[in-house]
Chain A
Amino acid sequence: MKNLLSINDLSKADALEILDTAVELSRLSENTVRKFPTLRGRTVVNLFFEDSTRTRISFEAAAKRLSADVINFSAKGSSLSKGESLKDTALTLQAMGADAVIIRHSASGAAHQLARQEWMKGSVINAGDGTHEHPTQALLDAFTIRRRLRADSGDLTGLSVGIVGDVLHSRVARSNVLLLQKLGAEVILVAPPTLLPVGVDSWGAQVRYSLDDVLPLVDAVMMLRVQRERMEDLFFPTEREYSRNFGLNLERMNRLKNTAIVMHPGPMNRGLEISADSADSHQSVIVEQVANGVSVRMSVLYLLLGGATARDLNLSSAGGM
Protein backbone atom coordinates (compact mmCIF):
# COMPACT_ATOMS: atom_id res chain seq x y z
CA MET A 1 0.00 0.00 0.00
CA LYS A 2 1.52 3.27 -1.05
CA ASN A 3 -1.08 5.89 -0.23
CA LEU A 4 -4.10 6.19 2.01
CA LEU A 5 -6.38 8.58 0.15
CA SER A 6 -9.75 6.96 0.67
CA ILE A 7 -11.23 4.04 2.56
CA ASN A 8 -11.78 2.50 -0.86
CA ASP A 9 -8.00 2.01 -1.03
CA LEU A 10 -8.32 -0.65 1.68
CA SER A 11 -9.62 -4.18 1.46
CA LYS A 12 -11.37 -5.58 4.52
CA ALA A 13 -8.17 -7.47 5.34
CA ASP A 14 -6.10 -4.28 5.06
CA ALA A 15 -8.46 -2.45 7.38
CA LEU A 16 -8.37 -5.23 9.96
CA GLU A 17 -4.58 -5.33 9.77
CA ILE A 18 -4.45 -1.62 10.51
CA LEU A 19 -6.77 -2.08 13.47
CA ASP A 20 -4.97 -5.15 14.83
CA THR A 21 -1.60 -3.44 14.57
CA ALA A 22 -3.06 -0.41 16.33
CA VAL A 23 -4.31 -2.65 19.13
CA GLU A 24 -0.81 -4.01 19.68
CA LEU A 25 0.73 -0.54 19.54
CA SER A 26 -1.78 0.89 21.98
CA ARG A 27 -1.13 -1.90 24.47
CA LEU A 28 2.59 -1.35 24.21
CA SER A 29 2.15 2.38 24.65
CA GLU A 30 0.03 1.95 27.73
CA ASN A 31 2.32 -0.40 29.59
CA THR A 32 5.66 -0.85 28.16
CA VAL A 33 7.27 1.06 25.38
CA ARG A 34 6.33 4.49 24.16
CA LYS A 35 8.87 4.96 21.40
CA PHE A 36 10.11 2.66 18.65
CA PRO A 37 13.06 3.09 16.30
CA THR A 38 11.10 1.74 13.35
CA LEU A 39 10.81 4.89 11.24
CA ARG A 40 14.17 6.33 12.15
CA GLY A 41 15.54 8.21 9.14
CA ARG A 42 12.12 8.62 7.56
CA THR A 43 10.83 12.14 7.02
CA VAL A 44 7.14 12.78 7.51
CA VAL A 45 5.64 16.11 6.53
CA ASN A 46 2.42 17.50 7.97
CA LEU A 47 1.01 19.60 5.14
CA PHE A 48 -1.98 21.38 6.60
CA PHE A 49 -3.78 23.89 4.39
CA GLU A 50 -6.61 24.03 6.90
CA ASP A 51 -6.31 24.70 10.57
CA SER A 52 -6.47 21.63 12.71
CA THR A 53 -4.33 21.50 15.78
CA ARG A 54 -5.93 18.30 17.04
CA THR A 55 -5.35 16.15 13.95
CA ARG A 56 -1.94 17.60 13.28
CA ILE A 57 -0.73 16.91 16.81
CA SER A 58 -2.12 13.41 16.62
CA PHE A 59 -0.14 12.66 13.46
CA GLU A 60 2.91 14.36 14.86
CA ALA A 61 2.80 12.30 18.04
CA ALA A 62 2.32 9.14 16.02
CA ALA A 63 5.26 9.86 13.75
CA LYS A 64 7.55 10.86 16.61
CA ARG A 65 6.76 7.73 18.61
CA LEU A 66 8.06 5.81 15.66
CA SER A 67 11.21 7.98 15.64
CA ALA A 68 10.45 9.62 12.32
CA ASP A 69 11.54 13.18 11.64
CA VAL A 70 8.50 15.43 11.49
CA ILE A 71 8.26 18.66 9.54
CA ASN A 72 5.19 20.86 9.99
CA PHE A 73 4.15 22.90 6.99
CA SER A 74 1.20 25.12 7.69
CA ALA A 75 0.12 26.61 4.38
CA LYS A 76 -3.05 28.45 5.17
CA GLY A 77 -4.03 29.79 1.79
CA SER A 78 -7.56 30.82 0.94
CA SER A 79 -9.66 28.01 -0.45
CA LEU A 80 -9.37 29.69 -3.82
CA SER A 81 -5.60 29.79 -3.77
CA LYS A 82 -4.83 28.80 -7.25
CA GLY A 83 -2.53 27.09 -9.56
CA GLU A 84 1.01 26.71 -8.41
CA SER A 85 0.55 26.51 -4.69
CA LEU A 86 -0.37 22.84 -4.37
CA LYS A 87 1.86 21.70 -7.19
CA ASP A 88 4.85 23.79 -6.21
CA THR A 89 4.52 22.73 -2.61
CA ALA A 90 4.49 19.10 -3.69
CA LEU A 91 7.57 19.49 -5.83
CA THR A 92 9.39 21.25 -3.00
CA LEU A 93 8.56 18.46 -0.56
CA GLN A 94 9.65 15.93 -3.08
CA ALA A 95 12.98 17.69 -3.44
CA MET A 96 13.33 17.70 0.35
CA GLY A 97 13.01 13.93 0.38
CA ALA A 98 9.71 13.53 2.18
CA ASP A 99 8.89 9.86 2.64
CA ALA A 100 5.31 10.66 3.49
CA VAL A 101 3.11 13.71 3.30
CA ILE A 102 0.04 14.00 5.46
CA ILE A 103 -2.27 16.47 3.81
CA ARG A 104 -5.32 18.32 5.03
CA HIS A 105 -6.96 20.66 2.52
CA SER A 106 -10.26 22.39 2.04
CA ALA A 107 -10.71 21.10 -1.52
CA SER A 108 -12.15 17.66 -2.14
CA GLY A 109 -9.69 15.63 -4.14
CA ALA A 110 -6.61 17.58 -3.03
CA ALA A 111 -4.99 14.41 -1.68
CA HIS A 112 -5.59 12.66 -5.00
CA GLN A 113 -4.03 15.59 -6.82
CA LEU A 114 -0.99 15.52 -4.55
CA ALA A 115 -0.53 11.80 -5.07
CA ARG A 116 -0.10 12.17 -8.79
CA GLN A 117 3.00 10.33 -9.86
CA GLU A 118 4.64 13.27 -11.51
CA TRP A 119 4.52 15.22 -8.26
CA MET A 120 5.20 12.88 -5.35
CA LYS A 121 7.31 9.77 -4.99
CA GLY A 122 6.57 9.42 -1.30
CA SER A 123 3.36 8.23 0.33
CA VAL A 124 0.35 10.49 0.68
CA ILE A 125 -1.98 10.20 3.64
CA ASN A 126 -5.29 12.03 3.41
CA ALA A 127 -5.96 13.81 6.69
CA GLY A 128 -9.17 15.32 5.37
CA ASP A 129 -9.87 16.75 1.92
CA GLY A 130 -12.80 19.13 1.68
CA THR A 131 -16.04 17.24 2.12
CA HIS A 132 -14.68 14.05 0.57
CA GLU A 133 -12.95 11.75 3.07
CA HIS A 134 -10.99 11.47 6.32
CA PRO A 135 -9.81 7.84 6.35
CA THR A 136 -7.81 7.84 9.59
CA GLN A 137 -10.78 9.30 11.46
CA ALA A 138 -12.95 6.43 10.27
CA LEU A 139 -10.24 3.98 11.26
CA LEU A 140 -9.98 5.36 14.77
CA ASP A 141 -13.76 5.39 15.04
CA ALA A 142 -13.90 1.73 14.02
CA PHE A 143 -11.08 0.97 16.44
CA THR A 144 -13.00 2.65 19.25
CA ILE A 145 -16.21 0.78 18.48
CA ARG A 146 -14.34 -2.51 18.25
CA ARG A 147 -12.53 -1.90 21.51
CA ARG A 148 -15.68 -1.07 23.43
CA LEU A 149 -18.04 -3.54 21.84
CA ARG A 150 -15.98 -6.38 20.38
CA ALA A 151 -13.03 -6.64 22.79
CA ASP A 152 -10.46 -5.47 20.25
CA SER A 153 -10.87 -8.32 17.80
CA GLY A 154 -12.74 -9.45 14.73
CA ASP A 155 -14.95 -7.27 12.59
CA LEU A 156 -18.13 -5.32 13.33
CA THR A 157 -20.73 -7.74 12.02
CA GLY A 158 -23.97 -7.53 13.92
CA LEU A 159 -23.43 -3.98 15.11
CA SER A 160 -25.57 -1.05 14.11
CA VAL A 161 -24.11 2.46 13.97
CA GLY A 162 -26.07 5.69 13.69
CA ILE A 163 -24.43 8.71 12.05
CA VAL A 164 -26.28 11.91 12.81
CA GLY A 165 -26.03 15.39 11.37
CA ASP A 166 -24.60 17.22 8.40
CA VAL A 167 -23.88 14.21 6.22
CA LEU A 168 -23.85 16.33 3.08
CA HIS A 169 -20.76 18.26 4.09
CA SER A 170 -19.06 15.60 6.21
CA ARG A 171 -15.91 13.81 5.14
CA VAL A 172 -16.04 11.90 8.40
CA ALA A 173 -19.46 10.54 7.45
CA ARG A 174 -18.33 9.43 4.00
CA SER A 175 -15.28 7.58 5.26
CA ASN A 176 -17.23 6.03 8.11
CA VAL A 177 -20.05 4.77 5.91
CA LEU A 178 -17.50 3.07 3.68
CA LEU A 179 -15.44 1.55 6.50
CA LEU A 180 -18.25 0.47 8.82
CA GLN A 181 -19.94 -1.36 5.98
CA LYS A 182 -16.68 -2.88 4.88
CA LEU A 183 -16.32 -4.28 8.40
CA GLY A 184 -19.85 -5.69 8.39
CA ALA A 185 -21.73 -3.13 10.45
CA GLU A 186 -25.08 -1.68 9.54
CA VAL A 187 -25.22 2.09 9.14
CA ILE A 188 -28.20 4.35 9.73
CA LEU A 189 -27.94 7.98 8.63
CA VAL A 190 -30.09 10.54 10.44
CA ALA A 191 -30.39 14.08 9.15
CA PRO A 192 -32.84 16.62 7.81
CA PRO A 193 -33.28 16.04 4.05
CA THR A 194 -31.43 19.27 3.27
CA LEU A 195 -28.27 17.84 4.81
CA LEU A 196 -28.33 14.56 2.89
CA PRO A 197 -26.71 14.39 -0.55
CA VAL A 198 -28.71 13.55 -3.65
CA GLY A 199 -27.46 10.08 -4.42
CA VAL A 200 -27.22 8.96 -0.76
CA ASP A 201 -29.51 6.07 -1.61
CA SER A 202 -26.62 4.43 -3.41
CA TRP A 203 -24.56 4.28 -0.21
CA GLY A 204 -26.13 1.14 1.20
CA ALA A 205 -27.02 2.81 4.48
CA GLN A 206 -30.51 3.34 5.86
CA VAL A 207 -31.72 6.92 5.81
CA ARG A 208 -34.05 8.21 8.55
CA TYR A 209 -35.31 11.63 9.55
CA SER A 210 -36.20 10.85 13.16
CA LEU A 211 -33.40 10.66 15.70
CA ASP A 212 -35.75 9.48 18.43
CA ASP A 213 -36.77 6.45 16.40
CA VAL A 214 -33.22 5.47 15.60
CA LEU A 215 -31.52 5.83 18.99
CA PRO A 216 -32.94 2.62 20.55
CA LEU A 217 -31.73 0.65 17.53
CA VAL A 218 -28.04 1.45 17.51
CA ASP A 219 -24.98 0.22 19.38
CA ALA A 220 -23.06 3.39 18.66
CA VAL A 221 -24.24 6.85 17.76
CA MET A 222 -21.85 9.20 16.03
CA MET A 223 -22.79 12.89 16.25
CA LEU A 224 -21.41 15.04 13.44
CA ARG A 225 -20.42 18.63 13.88
CA VAL A 226 -22.87 21.09 12.38
CA GLN A 227 -21.47 24.40 11.26
CA ARG A 228 -23.54 27.38 12.30
CA GLU A 229 -22.89 28.95 8.87
CA ARG A 230 -25.10 26.32 7.29
CA MET A 231 -28.03 28.35 8.55
CA GLU A 232 -27.05 31.14 6.16
CA ASP A 233 -27.38 28.75 3.24
CA LEU A 234 -30.85 27.77 4.37
CA PHE A 235 -30.04 24.20 5.31
CA PHE A 236 -32.10 24.61 8.46
CA PRO A 237 -34.09 27.58 9.74
CA THR A 238 -32.62 28.09 13.20
CA GLU A 239 -30.09 26.45 15.48
CA ARG A 240 -32.88 25.92 17.96
CA GLU A 241 -34.92 23.89 15.50
CA TYR A 242 -31.91 21.85 14.51
CA SER A 243 -30.95 21.13 18.07
CA ARG A 244 -34.49 20.27 19.07
CA ASN A 245 -34.80 17.65 16.33
CA PHE A 246 -31.29 16.37 15.78
CA GLY A 247 -29.35 17.25 18.88
CA LEU A 248 -28.28 14.69 21.44
CA ASN A 249 -29.36 15.59 24.96
CA LEU A 250 -29.81 13.76 28.23
CA GLU A 251 -33.43 12.92 27.49
CA ARG A 252 -32.46 11.32 24.19
CA MET A 253 -29.58 9.50 25.90
CA ASN A 254 -32.19 7.58 27.87
CA ARG A 255 -33.46 6.10 24.64
CA LEU A 256 -30.10 4.50 23.94
CA LYS A 257 -29.28 0.93 24.90
CA ASN A 258 -27.28 0.71 28.12
CA THR A 259 -24.36 -0.68 26.19
CA ALA A 260 -24.47 1.91 23.43
CA ILE A 261 -21.66 4.40 23.06
CA VAL A 262 -21.71 8.06 22.06
CA MET A 263 -19.09 9.33 19.65
CA HIS A 264 -18.08 12.65 18.08
CA PRO A 265 -15.15 13.37 15.78
CA GLY A 266 -14.63 16.80 17.34
CA PRO A 267 -14.51 19.67 17.71
CA MET A 268 -17.92 19.75 19.35
CA ASN A 269 -20.48 22.50 19.28
CA ARG A 270 -21.67 21.87 22.82
CA GLY A 271 -25.33 22.78 22.90
CA LEU A 272 -25.94 22.50 19.17
CA GLU A 273 -25.52 18.92 18.03
CA ILE A 274 -24.60 17.55 21.43
CA SER A 275 -25.39 18.75 24.93
CA ALA A 276 -22.62 19.15 27.47
CA ASP A 277 -23.95 16.40 29.71
CA SER A 278 -24.25 13.96 26.81
CA ALA A 279 -20.68 14.66 25.83
CA ASP A 280 -19.52 14.06 29.40
CA SER A 281 -21.71 11.04 30.17
CA HIS A 282 -20.23 7.66 31.01
CA GLN A 283 -21.44 6.32 27.68
CA SER A 284 -19.42 8.87 25.82
CA VAL A 285 -16.14 7.66 24.30
CA ILE A 286 -15.21 11.02 22.81
CA VAL A 287 -12.02 11.37 24.81
CA GLU A 288 -10.97 7.79 24.03
CA GLN A 289 -11.40 8.50 20.34
CA VAL A 290 -8.66 11.11 20.58
CA ALA A 291 -6.27 8.73 22.37
CA ASN A 292 -7.02 5.96 19.93
CA GLY A 293 -6.21 8.32 17.11
CA VAL A 294 -2.53 8.23 17.91
CA SER A 295 -2.31 4.43 17.93
CA VAL A 296 -4.27 4.17 14.70
CA ARG A 297 -2.10 6.77 13.02
CA MET A 298 1.04 5.00 14.26
CA SER A 299 -0.33 1.86 12.71
CA VAL A 300 -0.96 3.55 9.36
CA LEU A 301 2.49 5.12 9.34
CA TYR A 302 4.10 1.80 10.22
CA LEU A 303 2.27 -0.07 7.50
CA LEU A 304 2.99 2.59 4.90
CA LEU A 305 6.58 3.37 5.78
CA GLY A 306 7.85 0.58 8.03
CA GLY A 307 8.75 -1.83 5.27
CA ALA A 308 10.25 -1.28 1.86
CA THR A 309 8.66 1.66 0.06
CA ALA A 310 8.60 2.60 -3.60
CA ARG A 311 11.17 5.27 -2.83
CA ASP A 312 13.48 2.71 -1.25
CA LEU A 313 13.24 0.52 -4.29
CA ASN A 314 13.88 3.47 -6.61
CA LEU A 315 16.81 4.62 -4.57
CA SER A 316 18.37 1.17 -4.29
CA SER A 317 18.04 0.54 -7.98
CA ALA A 318 19.76 3.88 -8.52
CA GLY A 319 22.66 2.54 -6.54
CA GLY A 320 22.30 4.39 -3.25
CA MET A 321 20.46 3.59 0.00
Chain B
Amino acid sequence: MSVILNAGEISRALRRISHEILEKNHGSSEVLLLGIPTRGALLSQRIKVLIEEIEKSPVLAGTLDITMYRDDLRMRPPRTLMPTEIPGGGIDEKHVVLVDDVFYSGRTIRAALDAINEVGRPRSVQLAVLIDRGHRELPIRADFVGKNIPTAKDESVRVHLTEIDGVDEVLIEGRTSS
Protein backbone atom coordinates (compact mmCIF):
# COMPACT_ATOMS: atom_id res chain seq x y z
CA MET B 1 0.00 0.00 0.00
CA SER B 2 1.50 3.36 -0.92
CA VAL B 3 0.46 6.95 -0.39
CA ILE B 4 0.09 8.78 -3.64
CA LEU B 5 -1.36 12.00 -2.32
CA ASN B 6 -0.72 13.47 1.11
CA ALA B 7 -2.74 16.03 3.04
CA GLY B 8 -1.01 19.01 1.55
CA GLU B 9 -1.40 17.75 -2.00
CA ILE B 10 -5.07 17.07 -1.46
CA SER B 11 -5.59 20.55 -0.13
CA ARG B 12 -3.83 22.15 -3.07
CA ALA B 13 -5.79 20.07 -5.54
CA LEU B 14 -9.09 21.12 -3.99
CA ARG B 15 -8.05 24.74 -4.06
CA ARG B 16 -7.19 24.53 -7.73
CA ILE B 17 -10.49 22.76 -8.52
CA SER B 18 -12.38 25.51 -6.69
CA HIS B 19 -10.71 28.16 -8.85
CA GLU B 20 -11.42 26.17 -12.00
CA ILE B 21 -15.10 25.85 -11.16
CA LEU B 22 -15.33 29.58 -10.65
CA GLU B 23 -13.48 30.26 -13.87
CA LYS B 24 -15.62 27.98 -16.01
CA ASN B 25 -18.88 29.23 -14.53
CA HIS B 26 -17.97 32.90 -14.34
CA GLY B 27 -18.43 33.00 -10.59
CA SER B 28 -20.50 31.08 -8.13
CA SER B 29 -23.95 32.60 -8.43
CA GLU B 30 -25.40 29.92 -10.73
CA VAL B 31 -23.37 27.05 -9.30
CA LEU B 32 -24.87 24.24 -7.22
CA LEU B 33 -22.40 21.76 -5.75
CA LEU B 34 -23.78 18.25 -5.27
CA GLY B 35 -21.56 15.83 -3.40
CA ILE B 36 -22.08 12.08 -3.74
CA PRO B 37 -22.04 10.53 -0.26
CA THR B 38 -20.01 9.63 1.56
CA ARG B 39 -16.67 11.13 0.69
CA GLY B 40 -17.85 13.06 -2.34
CA ALA B 41 -20.17 14.93 -0.02
CA LEU B 42 -17.31 15.76 2.35
CA LEU B 43 -15.16 16.99 -0.51
CA SER B 44 -18.06 19.05 -1.81
CA GLN B 45 -18.33 20.73 1.59
CA ARG B 46 -14.66 21.60 1.51
CA ILE B 47 -14.97 23.04 -1.99
CA LYS B 48 -17.95 25.09 -0.85
CA VAL B 49 -15.89 26.58 1.97
CA LEU B 50 -13.01 27.34 -0.39
CA ILE B 51 -15.27 28.96 -2.98
CA GLU B 52 -16.93 31.11 -0.34
CA GLU B 53 -13.46 32.22 0.87
CA ILE B 54 -12.50 33.23 -2.64
CA GLU B 55 -15.74 34.88 -3.74
CA LYS B 56 -16.77 36.23 -0.35
CA SER B 57 -20.33 35.18 -1.04
CA PRO B 58 -22.35 32.01 -0.39
CA VAL B 59 -22.62 29.17 -2.88
CA LEU B 60 -25.39 26.54 -2.98
CA ALA B 61 -24.41 23.01 -1.96
CA GLY B 62 -26.14 19.74 -1.19
CA THR B 63 -25.81 15.95 -1.43
CA LEU B 64 -27.13 13.41 -3.89
CA ASP B 65 -27.35 9.74 -2.89
CA ILE B 66 -27.36 7.55 -5.98
CA THR B 67 -27.99 4.14 -4.34
CA MET B 68 -31.46 3.75 -5.80
CA TYR B 69 -30.15 4.33 -9.32
CA ARG B 70 -27.20 1.95 -9.32
CA ASP B 71 -27.13 -0.67 -12.05
CA ASP B 72 -25.48 -3.29 -9.83
CA LEU B 73 -28.06 -3.36 -7.02
CA ARG B 74 -29.12 -6.94 -7.68
CA MET B 75 -25.64 -8.29 -7.25
CA ARG B 76 -25.51 -8.06 -3.49
CA PRO B 77 -27.68 -7.46 -0.46
CA PRO B 78 -29.50 -4.12 -0.31
CA ARG B 79 -27.39 -1.12 0.57
CA THR B 80 -28.24 1.47 3.19
CA LEU B 81 -29.51 4.74 1.77
CA MET B 82 -27.42 7.87 2.36
CA PRO B 83 -28.99 11.32 2.75
CA THR B 84 -30.00 13.42 -0.23
CA GLU B 85 -30.32 17.15 0.42
CA ILE B 86 -31.18 19.46 -2.43
CA PRO B 87 -31.14 23.17 -1.55
CA GLY B 88 -34.55 24.83 -1.40
CA GLY B 89 -34.74 26.35 -4.87
CA GLY B 90 -34.12 23.02 -6.62
CA ILE B 91 -31.66 22.43 -9.45
CA ASP B 92 -33.54 23.92 -12.39
CA GLU B 93 -31.42 26.30 -14.47
CA LYS B 94 -28.41 25.84 -12.23
CA HIS B 95 -24.93 24.68 -13.18
CA VAL B 96 -24.82 21.51 -11.12
CA VAL B 97 -21.31 20.39 -10.24
CA LEU B 98 -21.24 16.77 -9.09
CA VAL B 99 -18.42 16.03 -6.69
CA ASP B 100 -17.01 12.56 -6.04
CA ASP B 101 -13.76 11.17 -4.65
CA VAL B 102 -12.68 8.55 -7.20
CA PHE B 103 -13.71 8.43 -10.88
CA TYR B 104 -13.41 4.90 -12.27
CA SER B 105 -15.92 3.05 -14.48
CA GLY B 106 -18.28 6.00 -14.69
CA ARG B 107 -21.30 4.01 -13.52
CA THR B 108 -21.72 6.04 -10.35
CA ILE B 109 -21.92 9.23 -12.40
CA ARG B 110 -24.33 7.61 -14.84
CA ALA B 111 -26.56 6.82 -11.84
CA ALA B 112 -26.14 10.39 -10.61
CA LEU B 113 -27.26 11.72 -14.00
CA ASP B 114 -30.38 9.54 -13.79
CA ALA B 115 -31.06 10.85 -10.30
CA ILE B 116 -30.60 14.44 -11.43
CA ASN B 117 -33.02 13.78 -14.27
CA GLU B 118 -35.72 12.95 -11.74
CA VAL B 119 -35.04 16.01 -9.65
CA GLY B 120 -35.16 18.68 -12.32
CA ARG B 121 -33.55 20.22 -15.37
CA PRO B 122 -30.22 21.94 -14.69
CA ARG B 123 -28.63 24.31 -17.16
CA SER B 124 -25.58 22.05 -17.21
CA VAL B 125 -24.08 19.18 -15.26
CA GLN B 126 -20.34 19.21 -14.59
CA LEU B 127 -18.16 16.73 -12.77
CA ALA B 128 -15.38 17.38 -10.24
CA VAL B 129 -13.34 14.45 -8.93
CA LEU B 130 -10.35 14.24 -6.65
CA ILE B 131 -8.82 11.21 -8.39
CA ASP B 132 -9.33 9.96 -11.95
CA ARG B 133 -7.99 6.40 -12.16
CA GLY B 134 -9.02 5.59 -15.72
CA HIS B 135 -10.79 2.43 -17.02
CA ARG B 136 -14.01 4.12 -18.11
CA GLU B 137 -16.83 1.72 -19.07
CA LEU B 138 -19.17 4.49 -20.22
CA PRO B 139 -18.62 7.61 -22.35
CA ILE B 140 -18.44 10.07 -19.42
CA ARG B 141 -15.66 12.52 -18.68
CA ALA B 142 -14.75 14.78 -15.76
CA ASP B 143 -14.51 18.58 -16.03
CA PHE B 144 -12.32 19.11 -13.00
CA VAL B 145 -9.71 16.59 -11.88
CA GLY B 146 -7.53 16.72 -8.78
CA LYS B 147 -5.03 14.17 -10.01
CA ASN B 148 -4.85 11.66 -12.85
CA ILE B 149 -3.50 8.36 -11.64
CA PRO B 150 -3.14 5.52 -14.13
CA THR B 151 -3.94 2.26 -12.35
CA ALA B 152 -4.20 -1.43 -13.10
CA LYS B 153 -7.63 -2.99 -12.74
CA ASP B 154 -6.55 -5.21 -9.89
CA GLU B 155 -5.33 -2.28 -7.83
CA SER B 156 -7.63 -0.27 -5.61
CA VAL B 157 -7.58 3.40 -4.78
CA ARG B 158 -8.57 4.54 -1.30
CA VAL B 159 -9.35 8.10 -0.30
CA HIS B 160 -9.16 8.90 3.41
CA LEU B 161 -10.55 12.15 4.77
CA THR B 162 -10.02 13.53 8.23
CA GLU B 163 -13.73 13.97 8.92
CA ILE B 164 -14.29 10.24 9.00
CA ASP B 165 -10.93 8.50 8.61
CA GLY B 166 -8.88 10.73 10.86
CA VAL B 167 -6.32 11.62 8.18
CA ASP B 168 -6.18 13.12 4.68
CA GLU B 169 -4.46 10.83 2.22
CA VAL B 170 -4.96 8.86 -0.99
CA LEU B 171 -3.60 5.32 -1.10
CA ILE B 172 -3.08 2.70 -3.75
CA GLU B 173 -3.34 -0.95 -2.78
CA GLY B 174 -2.02 -3.90 -4.69
CA ARG B 175 0.79 -2.10 -6.43
CA THR B 176 4.28 -3.52 -6.03
CA SER B 177 6.45 -0.50 -5.54
CA SER B 178 8.75 0.49 -8.30
Residues of A at the B interface (CB closer than 8 Å) are 17, 20-21, 24-25, 27-28, 31-33, 35-38, 302-304, 306-309, 312
B73 in the interface (beta carbon within 8 A)? yes
Please, which residues of chain A bring their CB within 8 A of the CB of B119?
Answer: 32-33
Would you call A38 and B80 a contact (CB within 8 A)?
no
Residues of B at the A interface (CB closer than 8 Å) are 65, 68-69, 73-84, 86, 114-115, 118-119
With A32-B119, A33-B119, A37-B114 known as contacts, the answer to whether A307 contacts B80 (CB < 8 A) is no
A33 to chain B: closest CB distance in Å? 4
Ordered by A's residue number, 30 sampled pairs between the chains whose C-beta atoms are within 8 Å are A17-B80, A20-B80, A21-B80, A21-B81, A24-B65, A24-B81, A24-B82, A24-B84, A25-B81, A31-B86, A32-B84, A32-B86, A32-B118, A32-B119, A33-B84, A33-B115, A33-B118, A37-B68, A303-B78, A306-B68, A306-B79, A307-B73, A307-B74, A307-B76, A307-B77, A307-B78, A308-B75, A308-B76, A309-B74, A312-B74
Would you call B73 and A36 a contact (CB within 8 A)?
no
Determine the distance from Cα of A42 to Cα of B90 in the docked complex, in whole angstroms.
31
Please, which residues of chain B bring their CB within 8 A of the CB of A303?
Answer: 78
Determine the distance from Cα of A21 to Cα of B65 in the docked complex, in whole angstroms.
12
Please, which residues of chain B bring their CB within 8 A of the CB of A36?
Answer: 68-69, 118
- Measured CB to CB, the nearest residue on chain B to A31 is B86
Would you call B80 and A308 a contact (CB within 8 A)?
no
Determine the distance from Cα of A104 to Cα of B135 in the docked complex, in whole angstroms.
49
Extra A-B contacts (8), CB below 8 Å, given A32-B119, A36-B68, A307-B73: A24-B84, A33-B118, A35-B118, A36-B118, A37-B68, A302-B78, A303-B78, A306-B78
Determine the distance from Cα of A38 to Cα of B71 in the docked complex, in whole angstroms.
9
Please, which residues of chain B bring their CB within 8 A of the CB of A28?
Answer: 84
**Which among A21, A24, A33, A308 is the interface contact of B74 at CB below 8 angstroms?**
A308
Please, which residues of chain A bring their CB within 8 A of the CB of B75?
Answer: 308
Please, which residues of chain B bring their CB within 8 A of the CB of A35?
Answer: 118
Would you call B77 and A308 a contact (CB within 8 A)?
yes
Main secondary structure of the interface of A (DSSP, over half): helix
- Measured CB to CB, the nearest residue on chain B to A304 is B78
Main secondary structure of the interface of B (DSSP, over half): loop
Would you call A38 and B73 a contact (CB within 8 A)?
yes
Determine the distance from Cα of A249 to Cα of B147 in the docked complex, in whole angstroms.
68
B106 to chain A: closest CB distance in Å? 18
B120 to chain A: closest CB distance in Å? 8
Please, which residues of chain A bring their CB within 8 A of the CB of B118?
Answer: 32-33, 35-36
Please, which residues of chain A bring their CB within 8 A of the CB of B115?
Answer: 33
Please, which residues of chain A bring their CB within 8 A of the CB of B82?
Answer: 24
Determine the distance from Cα of A28 to Cα of B84 in the docked complex, in whole angstroms.
7
With A32-B119, A36-B68 known as contacts, the answer to whether A306 contacts B83 (CB < 8 A) is no
B51 to chain A: closest CB distance in Å? 23
Determine the distance from Cα of A35 to Cα of B115 in the docked complex, in whole angstroms.
10
Please, which residues of chain B bring their CB within 8 A of the CB of A33?
Answer: 84, 115, 118-119
- Measured CB to CB, the nearest residue on chain B to A21 is B81
Determine the distance from Cα of A304 to Cα of B73 in the docked complex, in whole angstroms.
12
Would you call A37 and B69 a contact (CB within 8 A)?
yes
Please, which residues of chain A bring their CB within 8 A of the CB of B86?
Answer: 31-32
B86 to chain A: closest CB distance in Å? 5
- Measured CB to CB, the nearest residue on chain A to B86 is A32
Enumerate the 5 nearest inter-chain pairs by beta-carbon distance, A residue then B residue, closest first.
Answer: A307-B78, A306-B78, A36-B68, A33-B118, A307-B77
Determine the distance from Cα of A228 to Cα of B81 in the docked complex, in whole angstroms.
44
Would you call A24 and B78 a contact (CB within 8 A)?
no
A272 to chain B: closest CB distance in Å? 40
